[in-house]
Amino acid sequence: MAEITHYANKSILILDDMPEARSSLRSQVGMLGFERIAVSGNVKDALEQVRKSHFDIILSDYYLGEGADGQQFLEYLRTRGVIGRGVLFVMVTAEKRYESVVTAAECLPDDYLLKPFTSEVLKLRLGRLLEKKRRLANVDQLQDKGDWAGVVATCDRIIEAGDRYMVDAMRIKGNALLAAGRLDEAVVFYQLMLLERPLPWARLGLARALHQRGEHEESKKTLGELIAEAPQLMAAYDLLGKAHVASGDHDAALAVLDSACKISPNSLARHRAVANVAEEKGDFRRVEQAMDRVVKKTRNSPLRETRDIARLGNALTEVGEPARAVSLIGEALTNFKSDAEDPMLAAVETVAQHKAGNPDKAQAALARALRGDPGKLPAPAAMAVAKACLTAGRQDEAQGILRQLVQTHHEATDLHSRVTTMLREHGAGAIADTLVADSVGEIIRLNNDAVKVAKEGNLAQAATMLTEAAQRLPGNMQVVANAATALLFEVLHNGVDAAKLRQAQAFQKAVQAQAPRHPKLAEIAELLVMVRDKYTAAGQ
Amino acid sequence: MDFADLAALGIHDVKNRLAALAVRADARGDGETLRDAMDAAASLSRLLAVYKDDQGRLAPAIDARVPADLLEELTAETARMTPLAIEAELAAAPGVGYYDEGMLRMVLQNAVHNALRHARSRIVLAARAGDGGLEFSVRDDGPGYPPEMLGAPLAMHPASREGSGLGLYLAARVAALHASGARRGRVELANDGGAVFRIFLP
């Protein structure tokens, strides 16, 4: 049979907690001609296998017994970048009811297979899915590069061809328009789609575009219709929650997310979303409830995240139960040695120990929290470390961390107001107002100065200024992207400099890794092509 | 845990066993056992779907699908279960149709299993565009439906040629749940050289 050669070079991982189901699936894929078959009975083992070797296809049951389910496994793999766009993930279920109970499109499996299915169906399905991956490989690459104009153009060609991938191309095109910030085009595109057929994803896309344009009322209206029509689509609740938060109505946001939790009680993402809103509102009882569920659900699972423990510990401290926070963190540190390396957890412990009346232990925890470079931490961890410093009376360190945090996220006004609130709550009201304004002002000035210097013709100086800033604030994507652009401009005008070219490409890589949808990536890619064209011709 | 939850777990367990049974039968080319196992599992799925419908929770997840793919899969799967000829007519099939694929699979599987019981030699599955929508049909060359079943059985209650009759009832429900604007789907039963089952989706 032809299909034997077809699958012989493909590797497949089967994940099912039931031994009988596992051997069943194994024998089915064996009949299709797969030779590289790995089998796993639990998420922990599967995760190890996926990390160790590459699989083309993952065939996972939805039910995996105690602990994580197939959807949580997939969300973990995709959000952590353990598997790329190119890996096929097929969810096997005995019932259909789990479809669309998913937050983000990238966390959707490539397909669902409803048990029982015959080997014939499995063969047809896998064949088609692999064919689709091949056909859309080009689009995937452009997406990975963040070349949204390229994605839109390629999708337009597929849509024009009107073949079976037309609708996939439409979906991707809509996302690309949103990612590129071409919001007006996105609105028109989705509205036209909806005239043809009120597909849930098109309605969601329209709501996203309206949300990004700041039209929250319109967006809410669209989402209301969508939820009435497709109550299983979790992403709609998430966006509606965000819309409510954006218009300052945290209670409405919590109500929306609660109803989503009822429909999808197993989704960790949903409980974490509730905690996010409750944290912002300062309702730490709610944070505690939500995070307690997440921590319990993942206690002995490989999907356990140290950050969840930290958030729960923080909430317990905030509601006046630091002793419980201390024992929670103590348990984590005993059972998971690597948790001792986590600065956020150490920061939360600092505050908890302090409030529980153990200043020595608080000191020890703070020392662990400050062991690394706080400037490299993600925002929530940096905030926690700053808070620990403030609690321990180490004002200067706290201010240093917060200044860098604000400069790294100089456009995140919600973060800025959290920084201000935190400083006020810790008796640093005097600098609370100036710290944010000064830090942001510095970045804006830097960008303006660089532009001015460049316009005056001093491209080298502009590039140097931005490169220095980017090295100081590696998390500020705008600064890093501008540095890459400035370096490339300089090279383009002043001649090839291998070190500068390498630096520009390193900045480009950093943006691709941290913000794959950054609007400047397309310009950087174009500049690189121009640089290459100019200097390859000259024999470089 | 109430009875509904226990029942759902039980159904889940039985379906898993039936799946394993189906795979073993399929592997040794035992079409008859394969068919029985698939049919039994399908019967449980219908039961669950009717229960969900009663609870008002049977909501279709309509998306753009390829009708030819669905029919190709059904044909390939059924061919392993029967010596009868089974074909898909796809010449008039639209490239893309809008429906809940899981639901349509359940409905068409049921229609095919009914046809398997009555066909003499041949079953034809077809998809075609028309009347601003999509029509799937399953046609056999058997004795046809009894006259009292013909037409558009909209208020269909459990009663049919055989079995519990949940199949046709669910088919009508699934069709009705597929709406586009003011238009709803429908099921039609006809005799034309054998039984013809049609489901029309707007």
| Domain extent for A126 | 2-135
- At A538 the pLDDT is 53
Query: Cβ separation of B80 and A118 shorter than 8 Å?
Result: yes
Contacts of A233 (CB under 8 A, 6+ apart): A100, A200, A204, A226, A227
Note the pTM of the prediction, 2 decimals. 0.79
Query: Cβ separation of B12 and A118 shorter than 8 Å?
Result: no
Nearest to B74 by CA among A120, A1, A2, A31: A120
> Residue A4: which pLDDT band, with cuts at 50, 70 and 90?
very low
- Token pair for residue B100? 């809940």
Which of B21, B23, B50 should we substitute to test contact with A (largest number of A Cβ atoms within 10 Å)? B23
What does the CA dihedral A174, A177, A179, A180 come to, rounded to 10 degrees? 170
- At A1 the pLDDT is 39
Nearest CA in chain A to B202: A197
Contacts of A266 (CB under 8 A, 6+ apart): A69, A71, A72, A297
Evaluate whether residue A506 is within a structural domain: yes
Q: What is the rounded distance in angstroms from the CA atom of residue A499 to the CA atom of residue A532?
A: 15
Evaluate whether residue A287 is within a structural domain: no
User: Which residues, in sequence order, are bridge partners of residue A114?
Assistant: A93
Flag whether residue B58 sits within 8 Å of chain A, measured between CB atoms.
no
ipTM score of complex: 0.90
Q: What is the rounded distance in angstroms from the CA atom of residue A187 to the CA atom of residue A215?
A: 12
pLDDT tens, position by position, B16-39: 889 989 999 998 999 999 999 999
Final residue belonging to a domain, choices A72, A106, A135: A135
Average pLDDT over residues A468-485: 92
Q: How many residues does chain B have?
A: 202
Flag whether residue A492 sits within 8 Å of chain B, measured between CB atoms.
no
Q: Which of A68-77, A89-98, A110-119, A396-405 has the lowest mean pLDDT?
A: A89-98
> Residue A97: which pLDDT band, with cuts at 50, 70 and 90?
low
Nearest CA in chain B to A113: B102
Those of residues 148-187 in B touching chain A at CB distance below 8 A are: 180
Flag whether residue A28 sits within 8 Å of chain B, measured between CB atoms.
yes
- Cβ neighbourhood burial of A71 (10 Å; 0-12, 13-18, 19+): buried
- At A213 the pLDDT is 93
Evaluate whether residue A80 is within a structural domain: yes
Final residue belonging to a domain, choices A135, A157, A185: A135
What does the CA dihedral A28, A29, A30, A32 come to, rounded to 10 degrees? 100
Q: Is the peptide bond before A116 cis (omega within 30 degrees of 0)?
A: yes
- At A147 the pLDDT is 82
Q: Which residue is associated with the tokens 């200024």?
A: A465
- At A140 the pLDDT is 85
Q: Tell me how far apart the terminal alpha carbons of chain B are, to the nearest angstrom.
A: 40
Residue A414 has pLDDT above 90, yes or no: no
Final residue belonging to a domain, choices A135, A166, A196: A135
Average pLDDT over residues B83-99: 93
- At B150 the pLDDT is 82
Please report, for the domain that includes residue A47, its CATH number: 3.40.50.2300
pLDDT tens, position by position, B49-62: 888 888 888 888 88
Enumerate the residues of chain B whose CB falls inside 8 A of the CB of residue A95: 8, 11-12, 15, 45, 48
Q: What is the rounded distance in angstroms from the CA atom of residue A74 to the CA atom of residue A13?
A: 13
Average pLDDT over residues A506-522: 85
Flag whether residue B17 sits within 8 Å of chain A, measured between CB atoms.
yes
Nearest CA in chain A to B132: A196
Between CA A21 and CA A25, with CA A23 as vertex, the angle to 5 degrees is 70
- At A540 the pLDDT is 42
> Residue A105: which pLDDT band, with cuts at 50, 70 and 90?
low
Residue in A116, A125, A166 closest to B19 by CB: A116
- At A94 the pLDDT is 79
Query: Cβ separation of B23 and A24 shorter than 8 Å?
Result: yes
φ, ψ (nearest 5 deg) of residue A121: -65, -40
Average pLDDT over residues A316-344: 95
Average pLDDT over residues A65-70: 79
> Residue B83: which pLDDT band, with cuts at 50, 70 and 90?
very high
Evaluate whether residue A115 is within a structural domain: yes
Q: How many residues does chain A have?
A: 540
Average pLDDT over residues A412-422: 90
Nearest CA in chain A to B38: A116
Amino acid, res. A381: A
Q: Which residue is associated with the tokens 């795979």?
A: B23
> Residue B182: which pLDDT band, with cuts at 50, 70 and 90?
confident
Average pLDDT over residues A82-109: 74
pLDDT tens, position by position, A255-300: 999 998 888 777 788 899 999 999 988 999 999 999 999 999 888 7
Task: Determine contact, residues A173/A155, Cβ cutoff 8 Å.
Answer: yes
Query: Cβ separation of B62 and A63 shorter than 8 Å?
Result: no
pLDDT tens, position by position, A179-233: 888 999 999 999 999 988 888 889 999 999 999 999 999 999 999 999 988 887 8
Enumerate the residues of chain A whose CB falls inside 8 A of the CB of residue B127: none
Q: What is the rounded distance in angstroms from the CA atom of residue A34 to the CA atom of residue A25?
A: 12
Average pLDDT over residues A303-332: 95
Average pLDDT over residues A291-320: 92
- Three-state DSSP at A59 gives strand
Task: Determine contact, residues A58/A15, Cβ cutoff 8 Å.
Answer: yes
| C-alpha of A261 from chain center | 20
Evaluate whether residue A203 is within a structural domain: no
Q: Buried b / exposed e across A108-122, counting CB within 10 Å, b at 16+?
A: bbbbbbbbbbbbbbb
- Three-state DSSP at A459 gives helix
Contacts of B16 (CB under 8 A, 6+ apart): A18, A20, A21, A94, A115
Q: What is the rounded distance in angstroms from the CA atom of residue A453 to the CA atom of residue A455?
A: 5
Evaluate whether residue A65 is within a structural domain: yes
Q: What's chain A's average pLDDT?
A: 89
Q: What is the rounded distance in angstroms from the CA atom of residue B193 to the CA atom of residue B198?
A: 15
The conformation of residue B151, written as its DSSP 8-state character, comes to B
pLDDT tens, position by position, A370-411: 998 888 899 999 999 999 999 999 999 999 999 999 999 998
Flag whether residue B36 sits within 8 Å of chain A, measured between CB atoms.
no
Evaluate whether residue A194 is within a structural domain: no
Residue in B15, B63, B105 closest to A115 by CB: B15
Evaluate whether residue A74 is within a structural domain: yes
Task: Determine contact, residues A263/A231, Cβ cutoff 8 Å.
Answer: yes
Nearest to A412 by CA among A486, A317, A515, A496: A515
Average pLDDT over residues A400-425: 92
Q: Which of A135-144, A400-409, B130-139 has the lowest mean pLDDT?
A: A135-144
Relative to beta strand B179-180, strand B183-184 is antiparallel
Looking at chain A, the whole-number percentage of residues with pLDDT higher than 90 is 61
Amino acid, res. A14: I
Flag whether residue B86 sits within 8 Å of chain A, measured between CB atoms.
no
The conformation of residue A378, written as its DSSP 8-state character, comes to -
Residue in A31, A128, A231 closest to B59 by CB: A231
Enumerate the residues of chain B whose CB falls inside 8 A of the CB of residue A204: none
Flag whether residue A166 sits within 8 Å of chain B, measured between CB atoms.
yes
Residue A305 has pLDDT above 80, yes or no: yes
DSSP labels for A397-436?
Answer: HHHHHHHHHHHHTTT-HHHHHHHHHHHHHTT-HHHHHHHH
Query: Cβ separation of B23 and A199 shorter than 8 Å?
Result: no
Residue B154 has pLDDT above 70, yes or no: no
The conformation of residue A198, written as its DSSP 8-state character, comes to -
> Residue B91: which pLDDT band, with cuts at 50, 70 and 90?
very high
Residue B15 has pLDDT above 60, yes or no: yes
Which range scores top for mean pLDDT: A93-102, A257-266, A306-315, A417-426?
A306-315
Average pLDDT over residues A104-109: 72
Relative to beta strand B85-89, strand B97-99 is unpaired
- At B169 the pLDDT is 87
- At A539 the pLDDT is 47
Q: Which residue is associated with the tokens 């049951």?
A: A61
Enumerate the residues of chain B whose CB falls inside 8 A of the CB of residue A119: 23, 26-27
Contacts of A256 (CB under 8 A, 6+ apart): A237, A240, A241, A244
Flag whether residue A97 sits within 8 Å of chain B, measured between CB atoms.
yes
Average pLDDT over residues B131-157: 82
Flag whether residue A163 sits within 8 Å of chain B, measured between CB atoms.
yes
**DSSP helix, strand, coil percent of chain B (3-state; round to 5):** 45, 25, 30
Q: What distance in Å separates residue A120's CA from the closest CA in chain B? A: 6
Q: What is the rounded distance in angstroms from the CA atom of residue A356 to the CA atom of residue A325?
A: 9
Q: What is the rounded distance in angstroms from the CA atom of residue A42 to the CA atom of residue A300?
A: 12
Q: What's chain B's average pLDDT?
A: 88
Residue A99 has pLDDT above 80, yes or no: no
Q: What is the rounded distance in angstroms from the CA atom of residue B185 to the CA atom of residue B107?
A: 13
pLDDT tens, position by position, A11-50: 999 999 988 889 989 999 998 889 899 999 999 899 999 9
Average pLDDT over residues A347-372: 96
User: Which residues, in sequence order, are bridge partners of residue B198?
Assistant: B137, B188
- Three-state DSSP at A60 gives strand
| C-alpha of A94 from chain center | 30
- Cβ neighbourhood burial of A396 (10 Å; 0-12, 13-18, 19+): exposed
pLDDT tens, position by position, A360-379: 999 999 999 999 888 889 99
Contacts of B158 (CB under 8 A, 6+ apart): B164, B165, B166, B169
| C-alpha of A323 from chain center | 33
> Residue B152: which pLDDT band, with cuts at 50, 70 and 90?
low
Which of A14, A16, A24 should we substitute to test contact with B (largest number of B Cβ atoms within 10 Å)? A24
The domain tally of chain A equals: 2
Q: For the range A195-198, what are the long-range contacts, defined as Cβ-Cβ under 8 Å and sequence gap of 24 or more?
A: A197/B64, A197/B98, A197/B180, A198/A229, A198/B180
Is the Cα dihedral A497, A499, A502, A508 positive or negative?
A: negative
Q: What distance in Å separates residue B117's CA from the closest CA in chain A? A: 20
> Residue A100: which pLDDT band, with cuts at 50, 70 and 90?
very low
Flag whether residue A116 sits within 8 Å of chain B, measured between CB atoms.
yes
Between CA A473 and CA A364, with CA A344 as vertex, the angle to 5 degrees is 115
Q: What is the rounded distance in angstroms from the CA atom of residue B123 to the CA atom of residue B120?
A: 9
- Which comes out higher in pLDDT, residue B84 or A523? B84
